[in-house]
């Protein structure tokens, strides 16, 4: 750690805590007046730069740039950052391990030592995305879903277990343990690292955009693509533009009827209106002191939805309280507190505030009201009092992010559900899921759901049996405190039986609806609704049969399940009757005081220790897996789950020349807000898709297709699932869906099939898009898939941060129209052919001329934002860059 660090003499100090002596790089030792004015999040970046300074990857000038943040953050100055660790979930983690295995093969082919390919910093992978809600509303749902999960994914799990044995510094948290971000918060987070007697702040990048949840505990961290995470695992620094920091001041206290979910949806709307893409948001003010770490984590988790790189809460006494309550040891807490105070990183929210970028946002917590978000995006906030009117207006409105364009708003469908006649209509709830780290990490909202269920059962209320209700907690700790509070039986009685520990419905693993429900929805083309506590309620994500999907707090999920519809006014319409009297939501809603009292009674440190001790020992199913112990993976030609990817085939030690893009066809012409849910393969594999045809040709039966997420380790499946979203609107064709025009023949065919024809004929491809291209979760396959489809460049009006980086990571050139310009400005139809002359080089944000086959000319800017990204693009991707670097070393 010390090496030739020029800051050793000034900053390397000793610290006493609990009778032990530690070393650390002291920020106050800089004796720089600018330090006290820095936002706390920037101080963490500063400490990392000082500690890792080697005058090569991190230089003294980088330290000066961070210290001079007030000025340099306005100038798009590039800085390097070296995170302390990496966290992965299995959907994105499997392809990362596949790539590492393939890189070992490539290193061997280049005549070098394959074991040079190893994580150089701690990497933790939590298997949480594989379990599906195949069984619901049954006391046996958990056992049955976990059995199905293991049978479906045994090959993937064997591969991951091989990786755990083959790679150093690599920990696997087995299936059935919980959601990655909640496990990260409750167990994996160090808060302050103690590495052989050296103390330094925990920091993390993760292969899921909601890695930001850890910001609630004061840990700097955010989501990156799997490609970038692999580079960090291999010892590379992250190159980033020194961010502006938006201050968000909180005052007051939440009212009795509001939850942390309502607060985050309110803050999300404010931050999106402000515009915080590429920025840090740092929360401060006296209102923060009243928020638990779980509340803060709920707010931080939603950073991707409000567009920020981070939503950061500095560490304070609540952080220490959380560490105690979650089972950390007294020794850990002692050196953590001593370090924070010595470094000036311990926050007093009633003390002086640092400087922020521009005007500070302010929110009085007492003004927060119950709300939801939807019906197609997690940042479209709707107060609960307005939802009925909002839904009914959108039902017949123009098709957009609110509207459905329904011709018959009064349509109903009557059907037999298990010999019980049932009627549904537009707005009927068919899925109600308490799911996702957004809320399941928060005891307040989870116990609120349980208390509401208890009160509802006492009033004789029930949930209609055709509604698919599930409870998928973020860790076993949740089950423990729901049991201690005595509310788990009431949730189960209402249908919210424990279905599994994982993301489940939030990521599209909602499982099939009953066939009778599906047919009823189809028969009248109903806009059926899902209400879930997870923030991945993008269009087409939750379930193909739910067109209206609302993000809500766990107690509101229970409330809408009881109501059976989203077009209800809870103030004037009852949930049901009890002893002849109407029962309104207000009659069963628990107060914040009641919730707080229950939390204080049931949250015990021992439950965290017990749960995570069991996880560390591994489950019987996981421990029973038999895998090879070689350091090279033995690829199986018959496998449809794990496949040796083509990314490194033909890789040479020399860097190839940059070539022009010439006479490229447009594979897709897209509008605004195309998310990674539209691009990346996700959800179930449609039985008439190219991926289904491939699997059928390999002898796989439709019942065993599984999901795209479970097959992320097979590039041949994933390439066929790229742009396969049924809601994708490609302006080259008339109807939504995964098709495009193959211009040489004029045929409308599947996007994958068109790309194959183009590539076989040696023709290059581009994509044209609108604003916020690639928003949503950070998915490596949203870049890997287009690479395999032969896409060389994207021309868009703007990009989501992670996706732009991932495109470069795969050697795809992100180009951006000038401010205020778009495809419409130049009358681009997508039928033209495009030539992009690069002249053998690319530069940071350079202007490049594009010419079309019909004589149009216009300039676009390369969204290659740093010198390091230039190097990645020159090498045709970040992993190629790392391989060549390690080979040369």
Cα separation, 85 vs 123, whole angstroms: 6
Closest CA relative to residue 731, chosen from 830, 812, 841, 865? 830
Q: For residue 699, what are its two tokens? A: 């002898």
Q: For residue 452, what are its two tokens? A: 């509401």
Domain positions in the chain: 85-367, 371-603, 646-888
- Please answer whether residues 500 and 146 qualify as being in contact, where contact means their C-beta atoms are separated by less than 8 angstroms: yes
**For 164, phi and psi rounded to 5 degrees?**
-60, -35
Q: What 3-state class would DSSP assign to 271?
A: helix
Q: What 3-state class would DSSP assign to 783?
A: helix
Name the E strands within 348-456.
361-364, 371-373, 381-383, 412-417, 420-425, 429-434
Cα separation, 315 vs 478, whole angstroms: 24
pLDDT score at 487 = 98
Fold observed for domain 371-603:
Aconitase; domain 3 (3.30.499)
- Please answer whether residues 644 and 635 qualify as being in contact, where contact means their C-beta atoms are separated by less than 8 angstroms: yes
- Please answer whether residues 466 and 422 qualify as being in contact, where contact means their C-beta atoms are separated by less than 8 angstroms: yes
pTM above 0.85, yes or no: yes
User: Using only C-alpha atoms, what is the Rg of the chain?
Assistant: 26
pLDDT score at 460 = 97
pLDDT score at 236 = 86
Fold observed for domain 85-367:
Aconitase; domain 3 (3.30.499)
Cα→Cα distances 855→18, 178, 562, Å: 74, 56, 61
State the burial class of residue 22 (Cβ atoms within 10 Å of its Cβ: 0-12, 13-18, 19+). buried
Closest CA relative to residue 399, chosen from 669, 667, 671? 671
Tell me the DSSP string of 440-488: HT-HHHHHHHHHHHHHHHHTT----TTSEEEE--SBHHHHHHHHHTT-H
- Please answer whether residues 294 and 440 qualify as being in contact, where contact means their C-beta atoms are separated by less than 8 angstroms: no
Bridge partners (DSSP) listed for residue 421 = 416
Q: At what angle do helices 293-301 and 260-274 cross, to 10 degrees?
A: 40
Q: For residue 639, what are its two tokens? A: 């496998």
Looking only at the bridges linking them, the beta strands covering 85-89 and 203-206 are: parallel
- Length of the chain measured in residues: 889
- How would you classify residue 581: left for phi > 0, otherwise alpha for psi between -120 and 50, otherwise beta? beta
Cα separation, 460 vs 580, whole angstroms: 11
Cα separation, 109 vs 616, whole angstroms: 37
Q: For residue 191, what are its two tokens? A: 């808060």
Cα separation, 241 vs 866, whole angstroms: 8
Cα separation, 100 vs 232, whole angstroms: 12
Walk along the chain (889 residues) in steps of 10 and give the mean pLDDT of each run: 85 95 98 97 98 92 97 93 95 90 95 92 93 96 95 91 94 94 96 96 94 98 88 88 97 95 97 94 96 96 94 97 95 97 95 96 98 96 98 96 96 96 98 92 96 98 98 96 98 98 91 96 98 90 95 98 98 96 97 94 94 86 90 94 94 93 98 92 87 96 86 95 94 96 97 98 98 82 96 96 88 97 97 96 95 97 90 94 89
Same fold, 85-367 and 371-603: yes
State the burial class of residue 861 (Cβ atoms within 10 Å of its Cβ: 0-12, 13-18, 19+). middle
Which positions ≥6 away from 312 have C-beta within 8 Å? 39, 40, 41, 215, 218, 220, 280, 281, 282, 283, 300
- How would you classify residue 53: left for phi > 0, otherwise alpha for psi between -120 and 50, otherwise beta? beta
Bridge partners (DSSP) listed for residue 126 = 89, 173
First to last CA, the chain: 20
- Maximum Cα–Cα distance for the chain, whole Å? 82
Cα separation, 542 vs 440, whole angstroms: 17
Give the side-chain half-sphere CA count within 13 A for 237: 22
* Homologous superfamily (CATH) for 646-888: Aconitase, domain 4 (3.20.19.10)
pLDDT score at 402 = 95
Cα separation, 66 vs 61, whole angstroms: 9
Q: What 3-state class would DSSP assign to 533?
A: coil
Sign for the pseudo-dihedral over CA of 526, 472, 270, 253: positive
Residue pointed to by tokens 């396959």: 781
- Please answer whether residues 875 and 699 qualify as being in contact, where contact means their C-beta atoms are separated by less than 8 angstroms: no
pLDDT score at 805 = 87
Alpha carbon 689 to chain centroid distance? 26
591-594 — which CB contacts under 8 Å span 24+ positions? Answer: 591/256, 591/257, 592/254, 592/255, 592/256, 592/257, 592/258, 592/444, 593/256, 594/451
Alpha carbon 57 to chain centroid distance? 28
Residue pointed to by tokens 């929210």: 349
């Amino acid at each position: 750690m010390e090496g030739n660090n020029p800051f050793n003499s000034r900053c390397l100090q000793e610290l006493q805590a609990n009778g032990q002596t530690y070393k650390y790089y002291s920020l106050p030792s800089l004796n720089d007046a600018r330090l006290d004015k820095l936002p706390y999040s920037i101080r963490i970046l500063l400490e990392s730069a000082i500690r890792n300074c080697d005058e090569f990857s991190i230089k003294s000038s980088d330290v000066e740039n961070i210290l001079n943040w007030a000025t340099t953050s306005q100038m798009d100055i590039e800085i390097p950052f070296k995170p302390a660790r990496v966290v992965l979930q299995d959907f994105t983690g499997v392809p990362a391990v596949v790539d590492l295995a393939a890189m070992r093969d490539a290193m061997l082919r280049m005549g070098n030592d394959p074991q040079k390919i190893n994580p150089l910093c701690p990497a933790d992978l939590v298997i949480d995305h594989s379990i599906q809600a195949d069984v619901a509303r049954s006391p046996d749902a958990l056992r049955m879903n976990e059995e199905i999960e293991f049978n479906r994914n045994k090959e993937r799990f064997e591969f991951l277990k091989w990786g755990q044995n083959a790679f150093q510094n690599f920990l696997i948290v087995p299936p059935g343990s919980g959601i990655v971000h909640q496990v990260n918060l409750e167990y994996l987070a160090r808060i302050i690292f103690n590495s052989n007697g050296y103390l330094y702040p925990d920091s993390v990048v993760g292969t899921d955009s909601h890695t930001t949840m850890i910001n609630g505990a004061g840990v700097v961290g955010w989501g990156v693509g799997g490609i970038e995470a692999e580079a960090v695992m291999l010892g590379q620094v992250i190159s980033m533009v020194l961010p502006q920091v938006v201050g968000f001041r909180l005052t007051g206290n939440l009212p009795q009827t509001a939850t942390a979910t309502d607060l985050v949806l309110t803050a999300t709307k404010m931050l999106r209106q402000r515009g915080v893409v590429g920025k840090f948001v740092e929360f401060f003010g006296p209102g923060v002191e009243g928020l638990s770490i779980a509340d803060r984590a709920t707010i931080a988790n939603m950073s991707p939805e409000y567009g920020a790189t981070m939503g950061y809460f500095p560490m304070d006494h609540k952080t220490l309280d959380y560490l105690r309550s979650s089972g950390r040891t007294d020794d850990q807490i002692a050196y953590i507190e001593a370090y924070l105070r010595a470094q000036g990183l311990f926050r007093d929210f009633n003390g002086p505030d640092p400087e922020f970028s521009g005007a500070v946002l302010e929110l009085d917590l007492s003004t927060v009201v119950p709300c939801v978000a939807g019906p197609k995006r997690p940042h479209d906030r709707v107060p609960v009092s307005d939802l009925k009117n909002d839904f009914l207006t959108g039902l017949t409105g123009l098709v957009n992010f609110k509207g459905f364009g329904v011709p018959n708003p009064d349509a109903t469908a009557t059907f037999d559900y298990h010999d019980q006649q049932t009627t549904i209509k537009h707005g009927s709830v068919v899925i109600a899921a308490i799911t996702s780290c957004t809320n399941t990490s928060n005891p307040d909202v989870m116990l609120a759901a349980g208390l509401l269920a208890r009160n509802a059962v006492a009033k004789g209320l029930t949930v209609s049996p055709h509604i698919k209700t599930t409870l998928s907690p973020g860790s076993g700790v949740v089950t423990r405190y729901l049991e201690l509070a005595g509310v788990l039986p009431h949730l189960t009685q209402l249908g919210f039986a424990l279905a599994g520990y994982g993301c489940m419905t939030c990521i599209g693993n909602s499982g099939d609806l009953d066939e009778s429900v599906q047919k009823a929805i189809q028969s009248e083309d109903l806009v059926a609704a899902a209400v879930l506590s997870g923030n991945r309620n993008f269009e087409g994500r939750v379930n193909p049969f739910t067109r209206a999907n609302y993000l809500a707090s766990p107690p509101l999920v229970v409330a809408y399940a009881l109501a059976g519809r989203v077009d209800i006014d809870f103030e004037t319409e009852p949930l049901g009757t009890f002893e002849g009297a109407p029962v309104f939501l207000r009659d069963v809603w628990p107060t914040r005081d009641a919730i707080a009292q229950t939390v204080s009674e049931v949250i015990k440190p021992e439950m965290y220790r017990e749960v995570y001790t069991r996880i560390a020992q591994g489950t019987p199913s996981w421990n029973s897996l038999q895998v090879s112990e070689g350091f090279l993976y033995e690829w199986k030609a018959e496998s449809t789950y794990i496949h040796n990817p083509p990314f490194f085939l033909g890789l040479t030690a020399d860097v190839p020349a940059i070539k022009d893009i010439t006479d490229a066809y447009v594979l897709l012409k897209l509008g605004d807000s195309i998310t990674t849910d539209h691009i990346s393969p996700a959800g179930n594999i449609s039985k008439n898709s190219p991926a289904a045809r491939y699997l059928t040709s390999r002898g796989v039966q439709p019942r065993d297709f599984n999901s795209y997420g479970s097959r992320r380790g097979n590039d041949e499946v994933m390439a066929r699932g790229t742009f396969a979203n049924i809601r994708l609107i490609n302006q080259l064709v008339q109807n939504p869906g995964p098709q495009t025009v193959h211009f040489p023949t004029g045929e409308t065919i599947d996007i994958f099939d068109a790309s194959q024809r183009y590539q076989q004929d040696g023709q290059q491809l581009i994509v044209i898009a609108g604003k916020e291209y690639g928003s949503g979760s950070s998915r490596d396959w949203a870049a890997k898939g287009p690479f395999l489809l032969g896409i060389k460049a994207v021309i868009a009006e703007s990009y989501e941060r992670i996706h732009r980086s991932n495109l470069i990571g795969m050697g795809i050139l992100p180009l951006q129209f000038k401010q205020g310009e778009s495809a419409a400005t130049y009358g681009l139809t997508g039928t033209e052919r495009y030539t992009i002359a690069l002249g053998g080089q690319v530069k940071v944000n350079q202007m490049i001329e594009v010419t079309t086959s019909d004589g149009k000319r216009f300039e676009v800017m390369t969204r290659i934002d740093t010198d390091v990204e230039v190097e990645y693009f020159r090498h045709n991707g970040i992993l190629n860059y790392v391989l060549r670097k390690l080979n040369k070393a």
